[in-house]
A and B are shown apart, each in its own frame.
Chain A
Amino acid sequence: MAFEHILYSVESGVALLSLNRPKSLNSFNESMHLEVREAFKLIRKDKQVRALVITGEGRGFCAGQDLSDRNVDPNAESPDLGLSIERFYNPLIKSIQDLPMPVICAVNGVAAGAGANIPLACDLILASRSAKFIQAFCKIGLVPDSGGTWFLPRLVGMAKAKELALLGDSVDAESALAMGLINRVTEDDTLREEALTLAKRLAAQPTQGLAYIKRALNQSFDHGLHAHLELERDLQRLAGQTKDYREGVAAFMEKRSPDFKGK
């Protein structure tokens, strides 16, 4: 399947999805959204895929919405920005969160607007030293979307979240690491390699179990302790039924390295 605005490939159990509109800093237009959606369908269908890396081509990761692509009807009073959120951004964030495998975001440059929040929906975030995170929404009268106002307080605490969202200042990779917004900083030229290495490592793990871990953690802030203990019980019940769990225990008993199939 040939894509125009993204690159998609699969190798050793890892899917690589790279946003590919470098001239406009990989900002989203409708076609790119549709292609990303298509890629997610492929990832879900492909039994070989056990980890996903999302990154960008060129010097930016993603500058959010391509403002030249906002179809504003000249006769309308004001555009309904809720529509494109409803149709594209929200489903994308849900797809990332619900994907039953680890998703690594390799932030290779500027990440602004929705482009700063898409990484936050991923499970692990690596950023190159020159990457920048900018909650640019407040500068044009908008609200951080794509989960920004939900992820930020969870990742960095409310005080920092408000600072980032209300001031919209650029945050470099080192500061992002220090405040707990991301997991690792790499040199610019080794980012993709390190992300893929990490993804390959994850792709050899018990994928189904990792999917349950991800599900439990993603729901953790929404539950009281009692409800969450029940969720852990349910997910453990499911995890205990996987072949990989048996393999894990068998390998441990036989003092050998396990061969996980992701089921």
Chain B
Amino acid sequence: MNSSYDMLCVQPSSDGVQVIQLNRPEALNALTTQLLDELASALSVAQSDSDVNVVVLTGSKKAFAAGADIKEMAERDLVGILNDPRQQSWQRISQFSKPLIAAVNGYCLGGGCELAMHADVLIAGRDAKFGQPEINLGIMPGAGGTQRLVHAVGKSLAMQMVLSGQPISAEQAQQAGLISEITQPELTLHRAIEIATDIAKKSPLAVRLAKESILKGMDTDLATGLRFERHAFTVLAGTQDRNEGIAAFLEKRKAHFTGR
């Protein structure tokens, strides 16, 4: 438990994996400006911490995050929203370049769902609920919900979720491709750490460029994406980790990557 954050528990990293837990259980982890700012800061710290290769982001048993803090939102007028400091936090969160895995249990709604979609890999407990209920308040998703959700689940389901505000189950989320695995709720974090630990053993350089290539491809045309992929692939040719990886394979032993 790191005392520098009021609304997060940041655990010390182990095997290259750091767990960050959203910690406002009394408010179902509703995302206040402070919570988002703390999360963005914790991720920047993890970004420059060489002991951290992968971050697992999780909430509580009951809620990953049930949305934005509505009381806070009510106080913002048009000008307030125009100068909303949260935008900067979202920006910082999306720039995290190490793998980010979301372990979701319970409610994952509104800003919470948008936050989860900032992760590279999402897994969820059997009882998780994903939704964008903003429309019920006469507003709409404002942190990527109308963009990332379409990538994740396709147009029809994204429209249905955003326009009706009705949440979907973990099972539906998996069928649609929003999450990659469903777990027993008690094992969601365990499984996320398992996946993270596995990724943390790979070459951090290869992992980073692979992540970047996938994200690049999602917001550009195929030709540009392929070109980016080729360049990234070529960059890896100059790394020690590539030589080690190939040598270890040929010598039938485990590779030891150093990130060089």
Bits for B168-206, please: 1 = Cβ < 8 Å to A, else 0. 000000000000000110110000000000000000000
B192 → A minimal CB distance (Å): 14
Identity of the chain A residue whose Cβ is nearest the Cβ of B171 in the assembled complex: A222
What CA separation (Å) do A231 and B186 show in the bound complex?
A: 12
- Min Cβ gap B128→A in Å is 14
Q: How large is the interface on A (under 10, 10 to 19, 20 to 34, 35 or more residues)?
A: under 10
| Chain A residues within 8 Å of B186, by CB | 238
Smallest CB-CB separation from A215: which chain B residue? Answer: B184
Within 8 A of A (CB), among B25-62: none
Band of interface residues on B: under 10
Q: Shortest beta-carbon distance, B167 to chain A, in Å?
A: 14
Query: What 1/0 flags go to A214-256 for Cβ under 8 Å of B?
Result: 0100000000000000010011011000000000000000000
In B141-155, which residues have CB < 8 Å from any A CB?
none
- B165 to chain A minimum Cβ distance, whole angstroms, is 16
Chain B contacts of A235 at CB under 8 A?
Answer: 184
What does DSSP make chain A's interface, helix, strand, loop or mixed? helix
- Give B55 Cβ to nearest chain A Cβ, in Å: 24
Cα(A235)–Cα(B183), bound, Å: 10
Identify which of B183, B184, B187 gathers the most chain A CB atoms within 10 Å of its CB. B184
- Which residue of chain A has its CB nearest to the CB of B186? A238
CA distance in complex: A237, B187 (Å): 9
Q: How far is the CB of A33 from chain B (nearest CB, A)?
A: 22
Query: Please, which residue of chain A has its CB at the minimum distance from the CB of B183?
Result: A234
Q: B183 contacts which chain A residues (CB < 8 A)?
A: 234
Closest-CB distance, A105 to chain B (whole angstroms) = 24
Task: Identify which of residues 230-260 in chain B touch chain A, using a CB-to-CB cut-off of 8 Å.
Answer: none
CA distance A215 to B183 in the complex (A): 13
Give the shortest distance, in Å, between B181 (CB) and chain A (any CB): 11
In the bound complex, what is the Cα–Cα distance between A167 and B260 (angstroms)? 74
Closest to B190 in A: A237
Q: Which residues of B contact A238 (CB under 8 A)?
A: 184, 186-187
A126-B162 Cα distance, complex, nearest whole Å: 47
A100 to chain B, nearest CB (A): 11
| A47 CB, min distance to chain B CBs, angstroms | 16
A237 to B191, CA, bound (A): 12
Please give, as numbers and ranges, the residues of chain B lying within 8 Å of A237 by CB-CB distance. Answer: 187
Tell me the minimal C-beta distance from A93 to chain B in angstroms: 15
Could you tell me the distance in whole angstroms from the C-beta of A25 to the nearest C-beta in chain B? 34
Please give, as numbers and ranges, the residues of chain B lying within 8 Å of A231 by CB-CB distance.
184
Q: How far is the CA of A254 from the CA of B186 in the complex (A)?
A: 31
Interface 0/1 of A187-220, CB less than 8 Å to B = 0000000000000000000000000000100000
| Neighbouring A residues of B184 by C-beta, 8 Å | 215, 231, 234-235, 238
Complex Cα distance A237/B184, Å?
11
Determine how close the nearest CB of chain A comes to the CB of B169; give it in whole angstroms.
Answer: 11
CB B81 to nearest CB in A, in angstroms, measures 35
State in angstroms the CA–CA spacing of A215 and B184 once bound together. Answer: 10
- Starting from the known contacts A215-B184, A238-B187, 8 additional A-B residue pairs (CB-CB under 8 Å) come to A231-B184, A234-B183, A234-B184, A234-B187, A235-B184, A237-B187, A238-B184, A238-B186
What 9 pairs across the A-B complex have the smallest Cβ distances? A234-B184, A238-B186, A234-B187, A235-B184, A238-B184, A238-B187, A237-B187, A234-B183, A231-B184
Using a CB–CB cutoff of 8 Å, the interface residues on chain A facing chain B are 215, 231, 234-235, 237-238
- The contact sample of 10 A-B pairs, CB cut-off 8 A, is A215-B184, A231-B184, A234-B183, A234-B184, A234-B187, A235-B184, A237-B187, A238-B184, A238-B186, A238-B187
B contact set with A: CB distance below 8 Å: 183-184, 186-187
